[in-house]
Amino acid sequence: MPENIIAELEGKSRDELYDEIIVSLRTVEPLFSAQQVALRSKMNVRDVRKAINEGKLGGGFFCWGPNSKKVSASGVNAWRQSFFVSVSPPPEV
């Protein structure tokens, strides 16, 4: 098994290897339902469904039926980051 992996990797540049790693991670990224996102984000499921339908969670979703929309983990993270409010420390007196 390791010999097969080494043979596959021989002759590839570092950039090519990084690209392959990124693509493989992207293609097997976890998917979450609106209910799962809402639970993890402490939000209303209705609001999450609305955001999914508006394309705010990564610009799209995976759909296997009318009630089975799923969004990628990276889309969820980007959407949640949009709610982050940065607070600077108060000036010293």
Which tokens belong to 24?
Answer: 């493989």
More confident residue, 24 or 47: 47
Give yes or no for residue 2 having a pLDDT over 70: no
Give yes or no for residue 26 having a pLDDT over 70: no
The string of pLDDT tens digits covering residues 51-74 is: 999 999 888 888 888 778 999 888
* CB-facing half-sphere around the CA of 9: CA atoms within 13 A: 13
